[in-house]
Amino acid sequence: MGIFSRLLEFAGIQKAEYDFIPSLEGPWAPNNMLEAATELFIPSSSPDMVAVEGDGDLLVTAGKELYRVAAGIPSLVRAFPGTLTTVFPDSDGSLWLGCEGHGLLQVDRVGTEIQRKTEVASVQLSCITSLVRHHDGTLLIAMGSRQNGAEDWIHDLMGRARSGCIVALSTSGERVIATGLGWPSGLALDHQGNVCVALAWNHCLQRYGLNGRLLDRPIPNLPGYPAHVSRASDGHHWMALFGMRTQLIDFILREDEFRADMMRNVDPRYWIRPTLLAEDSYMEPLQGGSIKKLGITKAWAPPRSYGLVVELDENFLPLRSFHSRVGGRHHGITSAVRSGNQLLAVAKGPGILLSIELEGK
């Protein structure tokens, strides 16, 4: 913010306009359902994404490993040379994987490599956050950032990078659909064949035509940072939010000098930032509302970490949500899918695959 606009603001001529953070109400109203979820599977390294294969088995990425959970029994498919950032089971039974440092891999059911792409439309593939296959056969690829790797997402946020992009790969050719995005983290298709992308740093959902035209913003302002989005068989979408925005985080994102000082001098674990799981350490910054009163932390205190999954309808409008609030443990949800009447969610913070029974249909 320039000195001039600050002066205007001080004089009351120009009112400061900041993105407000929507409050959790309506379909976003807090509950404890995610915290009460069953803990299904705890891999050795923290899981990141869950997906459903055509036959109903679950695929779970965890660090460099890929697991298959069949009838509740997990088994290791294969360990890969780089961290897996996303998995997409294709209709032909093969799997597409984002593998950090190795680009895009296509493997068969047991993990044998079929093909590998490191560049699409002259864009170096790295930090692949999401993959989805269009009806016309085009594979859409979302890259979170071209500056930072997937593990360095916090640097991408605090560096205010806007270098994410979406590229398309099809038999007819390769092209770029959108660039300059703030960490696109999840792709989903609507029934008209348009692609909806969840943008973490812009905290919104944006819809694009396959020709790259921005159509609209189904949700212009989210209360948190979205991660992967998945489509269920009933046409609804399930979106995970890996962290919540707080006014303090949004504030320091406006304070460039202060943020630079923080990034230079403080261990990233202790920054003012969203985390996947708060450490409950005095080294972490404390906000006023989090002070324990009479031995109790308020559940509505500003969250450093939070667990949130939201169900969206065909038009990406929110229907209901599942929460694990401040003081809970099932935080940092990066992925959620519906399989039958079961909701599966990855709590990356504590490193657990969670499951919730949904009412039958």
Asked if residues 337 and 344 have their Cβ atoms less than 8 Å apart, the reply is: yes
Closer CB to another protein, 272 or 276, in the complex: 272
Q: Which helix (H) or strand (E) holds 176?
A: strand 173-181
Closer CB to another protein, 292 or 361, in the complex: 292
Q: Indicate whether 285 belongs to the interface with another protein (CB under 8 A).
A: yes
Residue 48 in 3-state DSSP?
Answer: strand
Least CB distance to another protein at residue 277 (A): 15
Query: Quick one: which of 19, 152, 174, 284 contacts another protein (CB under 8 A)?
Result: 284
Least CB distance to another protein at residue 151 (A): 19
* Cα–Cα separations (whole angstroms), residue 281 to 194, 231, 284, 286, 331: 45, 37, 6, 9, 16
Residue 202 buriedness (CB in 10 A; 0-12 / 13-18 / 19+): buried
Best CA proximity match to 299, nearest among 280, 327, 271? 327
Q: Which residue has the tokens 């780089």?
A: 82
Least CB distance to another protein at residue 261 (A): 6
Handedness of CA 63, 246, 165, 268 (dihedral sign): negative
Q: Which residue has the tokens 């990855």?
A: 346
Please choose, out of 81-89, 163-171, 278-286, 330-338, the segment that lies near another protein by the rule CB under 8 A.
278-286
Query: Quick one: which of 95, 272, 278, 309 contacts another protein (CB under 8 A)?
Result: 272
Binding mask 64-103 for another protein (x = CB under 8 A): ----------------------------------------
Q: Indicate whether 30 belongs to the interface with another protein (CB under 8 A).
A: no
Closer CB to another protein, 188 or 262, in the complex: 262
Query: Quick one: which of 154, 196, 222, 301 contacts another protein (CB under 8 A)?
Result: 301
Binding-site size for another protein (CB under 8 A) equals 38
Q: Indicate whether 122 belongs to the interface with another protein (CB under 8 A).
A: no
> 310: left (phi > 0), else alpha (psi -120 to 50), else beta?
beta
Residues in the chain: 361
CA distance 141 to 103: 11
Tokens of 94: 């093969």
Best CA proximity match to 321, nearest among 234, 249, 247, 236? 236
Best CA proximity match to 320, nearest among 333, 330, 331, 311? 311
Closer CB to another protein, 108 or 279, in the complex: 279
Closer CB to another protein, 102 or 273, in the complex: 273
Cα angle 63-69-71, degrees, rounded to a multiple of 5: 165
Least CB distance to another protein at residue 335 (A): 29
CA distance 196 to 225: 15
Closer CB to another protein, 216 or 279, in the complex: 279
Least CB distance to another protein at residue 25 (A): 17
Residue 306 in 3-state DSSP?
Answer: coil
Closer CB to another protein, 94 or 290, in the complex: 290
Closer CB to another protein, 178 or 301, in the complex: 301
Query: Quick one: which of 2, 180, 288, 360 contacts another protein (CB under 8 A)?
Result: 288
Closer CB to another protein, 155 or 162, in the complex: 155
Q: Indicate whether 293 belongs to the interface with another protein (CB under 8 A).
A: yes
For residue 341, give the DSSP letter: T
Binding mask 229-268 for another protein (x = CB under 8 A): -----------------xxx--xx--x-xx--xx-xxxx-
Best CA proximity match to 107, nearest among 134, 130, 75, 84? 84
Q: Indicate whether 18 belongs to the interface with another protein (CB under 8 A).
A: yes
Q: Which residues bind another protein (CB under 8 A)?
A: 16, 18, 246-248, 251-252, 255, 257-258, 261-262, 264-267, 270-272, 280-295, 297, 301-302
